[in-house]
A and B are shown apart, each in its own frame.
Chain A
Amino acid sequence: MKQLIALDINDQIYEVPVDPWDLLSDVIRKKVRLTGTKKGCEQGDCGACTVLINGQAVLSCLTLAIACQGKKITTIEGLAEQDGRLHPIQQSFVDYGAVQCGFCTSGMILSSKALLDSNPKPGREEIKRALSGNLCRCTGYKKIIEAVEVASETMSKEGVK
């Protein structure tokens, strides 16, 4: 019962055959082969599978791929420039030691992006609240929060989205 659907991921159209029960996380990783999106708990708790749909942070492990036709999906692979230059949020995560094992990082960065897009100058509490659905077992969160604060400054200074 596979059906060919078109998914708009990082401004590129991918035509993929899916079954209705295929989850977006599996389709992105196994069919589109963008493996930056991670799967941790697969039940909505950890945020490792976070992607943006029409600019909003959602969990790809609880989303049916078939329901995503006609929507704009952004994964971590969509953030850097074509020439490989990192997005300011990615860069500050690297610079400020907010990445250890890296498993949570894609989700953390996408949640941060959704936050900064709607609230370019968030306070510390707002950052914590925006990232409360992303679990990190390594860093203790402090450096992640600092990295988001720095990214917020860089982005407003340079006028980056």
Chain B
Amino acid sequence: MFLNHFEYFAPQAAKDALDLCDRLGAKAKILAGGTDLLNLMKDKLLKPEYLIDINNVDEFKGIFYEPGKGAVIGAATKISEIERSEIIREKYFALHQAAGELGSVQVRNMATIGGNICNASPAAETPTPLVALGAKVVISSLSGDREMPLEEFILGNGETALAEGEILTKFLLPEPISGSVSRYGYIGLRDAMEIDAVNLAVNLALGEDGRIIKQLKLVMGSVFPRPLVSEEAPEILIGKEFSAELAEEAARAASSESKPISDIRASAEYRREIVAVLSRRLLQEAFSAAQGEV
């Protein structure tokens, strides 16, 4: 399998990367881990004239945490670094779980979190937990930075809010509120190296008493062209005392909000059922873990 001919750039400084992006516009593609991009090029679905490799730009990499403020994750940070990060495990558990489920060891060593988001596959691993955790993205260009919630950045299958000349440079994760816990789960056809049929993340916070639900975000993946935030589950649960019956009701509501398609991995009907199963399971898990926190 061959790649089309292109010119290759490997800038070291953010400024140079942005400069190249600005100058080369739509004829160029950003190369991060290459695990999506090079496959698309091998299949002749993309034929960029230029590749801008951002792996040598230190400013685009790394995980930084400041107590009370939250975490900043560089877009070119490898999935394996996120999987191994102690602070991500401690504060943003759903993201830690999702990172550990992406592809294989080799894929995780190559793939970046920015690539996972910019590729914008509805079945991708990290958008669901990132949305549940309230992540924002920072988009940079020569004219400066702009910020937006991740929900608004992913527009549909393969579509994002990135304009010509822009690079996704950072993810901003807010400090989790006290008493909160996040969980991620997925169902596929086999355990390893599988594209998810459905994935789901919940971010749940309990009040001081350890019973009343103070905050909840439930996000579904692979059942809509972009991550789908449940509106009904929080309405059912917030302000109430947690119970298995209420969790069941919220899970059913999320299931009816989902709009899956049938494809080779699963039928729409199966996916809807799995949304309910995962919702119930993760709500229960998050609740039990949150009780341990308060």
Contact = CB atoms under 8 A, between A and B. Distances in A.
A binds B: yes
Interface of A: 1, 19-21, 23, 42-45, 47, 50, 56-59, 62-64, 66-67, 111, 114-115, 129-130, 132-134
B5 A19 contact: yes
B91 to A, nearest CB: 24
Interface stretch (B6-14, B206-214, B257-265): B6-14
Contacts of B7: 1, 20
Contacts of B39: 43-44, 62
Interface in B58-95: 80
Contact of A21 (B5, B55, B104, B107): B5
Contact of A47 (B4, B5, B104): B104
B110 A62 contact: yes
B5 A133 contact: no
Contacts of A114: 105
B149 interface: no
Interface centre among A45, A47, A66, A132 (most CB of B within 10 A): A132
B2 A21 contact: yes
A30 B272 CA distance: 49
B34 A64 contact: yes
A21 B8 CA distance: 8
B244 interface: no
Assign chain B's interface to a size class. Answer: 20 to 34
Nearest to B191: A132
A59 B106 contact: yes
A56 B3 CA distance: 25
Task: Count chain A CB atoms within 10 A of each CB in B39, B42, B109, B191 and give the residue with the most.
Answer: B109
A62 B104 contact: no
Given A43-B39, A130-B105, A64 B8 contact: yes
B193 interface: yes
Contacts of A20: 5-8, 51
Contacts, number: 80
Contacts of B55: 67
Interface of B: 1-8, 10, 31, 34-35, 38-39, 42, 51, 53, 55, 80, 103-107, 109-110, 191-193
6 contacts: A20-B8, A43-B42, A59-B106, A64-B38, A67-B53, A133-B103
Given A133-B104, A133-B193, A58 B109 contact: yes
A47 B103 CA distance: 11
Contacts of A44: 35, 39, 103, 106-107
Contacts of B6: 20-21
A85 to B, nearest CB: 27
Contacts of A58: 106, 109-110
A62 B38 contact: yes
A44 B1 CA distance: 12
B106 A23 contact: no
Contacts of A134: 104
Contacts of B38: 23, 62, 64
B53 A133 contact: no
